[in-house]
Structure 1
């Protein structure tokens, strides 16, 4: 059931992930798909579908249901503690919908409705609604401000949708919205031309080392050993059960002997990125992790050279401009990266441009883009879904390891 699905993060006022909205490839308008038992069994056997815990990383899942499903085929096996039921249509005259919503509420589910700013507080469904989602992409802030008090004065929580810039985020937060859906956090907050601080230069050296074919273990050891926090985090990463389920790793040399040079390069790059962006929303790091693993799997599928692990590095660093609030071209002047990685990050690599277009298709549920790139790359789209699912699970595991390292952001 969850094999072919995209997810879009919903962040709170602190830019922490509150939930993911799940967008299904096989469902109408991204809603919950109707699979018969035989098809569901085939998906389970062939494409290794994710469970909700895998796809949402333990966060709440928003799932849209059409009216027919809510009335007659609602999947009561879903957990009301982790699923918010979102109505696909405005509840005007659908016979039986109010009764179905009352039943779903009795099961313990929260109900969300999309953009009902003109919905009267006297509407019979109003008392059942827990969450209201408002599309802010048209900049209708005067209308929103006029209609918002009746929601703010109730127990209803507000989600701003299509929040694509930090200006949108700040405006909606000031208006009183509780949650924010959109990729504003993946955009640079301000184009400030500045040098990386001296405190980050150890990380720059590590990033450079991870992108070279040669590997000076003693030099890497020196850099890491002079920073206790780096040493701790590197060992914590490498001992994550998602990566290493067998042996307890006690040093970089031990890790090198166990994991090999290429894998160590990946984790040095990962460690460096996490520390470069330690003042940014963790979801931005998480997106970078998923992209890194996905690009790495694609590069292997395409039989590209894996030393240095160019696919992994390009995916991992693809959001550096948002992490550092600077132009990518300016950032790359300071990072001693391999030329192939540089070219890919600047959009000069036809191969990696395909990867970027593909991952954006998965992130935004742009399924026609996925089909187009599948044909262009000669890889079955169902297999691409499987690779992306693997990347999500891997990213969730690494995220759980580094999350305690990130302080709670301060609202500004």
Structure 2
């Protein structure tokens, strides 16, 4: 079996809550031919090796399916209650395919039609489909609005993908889309004249104090204890199943002694970011995946200070959390210049790691021969666990 890189892209609802993930795969080897066996092998790998439910954190999973793959017996090994079979746009809906789709539908499988552009030949599959996906780069909002109105009597959800801005999100929400896919949620919503709220400003100040380079143990303890919510949440998290310490941790000083200053700063920063209001949990989870993966890459490559790579990844969505440019977001924070260069301009060794991670998220590129796919999966699972504990 070939080796694959794996990434998951979140699909959010109108309230920016997680609805599902789309699983994306690419062969790591530099192969000239990619046949339909790619998905067949991936299906087996997902169900058995990756652990589908763990990788999806028990949410729905969209998996791209070609014409040939639809007839593979491996399809029926997947959990029909969790998997949504996404029929690719280049599929020809002939009689055999429609019959097979009907058979799988009767066995409990759900279908989505990918990159949908209407043609009468799709009518039999529209009757079977539960979700229709619009690619914003292929069809206009006017065309998509007309189709939504035409199919309103059908029990179909509409999903807008390649949503890159909040303007697109709001526009497609207005015409009736229920689901949204794209990285708009991880980008700042820049609105001229908007000021930072008092609560968010307090969090920025807290981040600045916690992340002082030469902060002492007593100063860190005092800074954390001045914020009752941070104190409560940090102790709650450290006493959760994520750590399983032999004895309960009851004081911040005790936590710092056990974890060390750098680890305590890491978790205090995470909990502070989680406290920023009106932001989807998936954005924090997105930052956590980046943080853990950056740390793992640093360790694998014998980089100095893996904790700094973790912090860089954790802060890589700070612009979106604060709805300001990254340059403005990091300005009040006493960060190392290497972290600032990575966050603002993706420069230096840390910046290169961040570039790799972002390209992998979007399945644009993954360095040939550098198989971090397992590290990415572990980072996803770790982020799911961590975000559910805070």
Q: Any idea what SS the aligned residue of 1:11 has?
A: strand
TM score, norm. by length of structure 2? 0.88
The answer for the alignment partner of 1:181 in structure 2 is: 181
Preserved contact between residue 16 and residue 281 of structure 1 (Cα < 8 Å): yes
1:333 corresponds in structure 2 to 331
Deviation sequence 1:204-237 (CA, Å, 0-9, x none): 3542355444342322333332332211211222
1:381 to 2:370 alignment: yes
Question: 2:235 maps to which residue?
Answer: 235
Equivalences for residues 346-365 of structure 1 within 5 A: 346-347=344-345, 349-365=347-363
Offset of residue 83 of structure 1:
0.9
Distance of 1:361 and 1:238 partners within structure 2:
33
Aligned to 1:281: 280
SS at match of 1:152: coil
Compute the displacement of 1:193 (Å): 6.3
1:222 counterpart = 2:222: yes
Unaligned runs of 5+ in 2: 29-33
Alpha-carbon displacement from aligned partner over 1:116-140 (angstroms, at most 9, x marks no partner): 3413398222221111111113561
Unaligned runs of 5+ in 1: 375-379, 403-412
Q: Report matched runs for 1:146-157 at 5 Å.
A: 146-157=146-157
1:22-76: CA deviations, max 9, x gaps? Answer: 1111496999623399x969x98xxxx4211222122110011112221233432
Q: Deviations over 1:131-184 (max 9, x none)?
A: 111111356112112222122221111101111111110110000001011111
Answer whether contact 1:16 1:282 (CA < 8 A) is retained. Answer: yes
Alignment-derived partner of residue 108 in structure 2: 108
Structure 2 CA distance for partners of 1:36 and 1:122, relative to 1, 3 Å? closer
323-332 or 232-241: which moved more? 232-241
Conservation of the 8 A alpha-carbon contact between 1:7 and 1:23: yes
Q: Matched residues in 2 for 1:347 and 1:102: separation?
A: 51
Q: Deviations over 1:289-348 (max 9, x none)?
A: 1111111112222323328x2111111111111111111222222222233322222226
Instruction: Determine the structure 2 residue equivalent to 1:390.
Output: 378
Give the TM-score of the pair, scaled to structure 1. 0.84
Distance 1:284 1:144, change over 3 A: same
Instruction: Determine if the alignment matches structure 1 residue 370 to structure 2 residue 366.
Output: yes
Aligned to 2:24: 23
Cα RMSD over matched residues? 3.0
- Inter-partner Cα distance in structure 2 for 1:95 and 1:153: 25
Question: Quick check: 1:206–1:268 contact (8 Å CA) kept in 2?
Answer: no
Matched residue of 2:123: which SS? coil
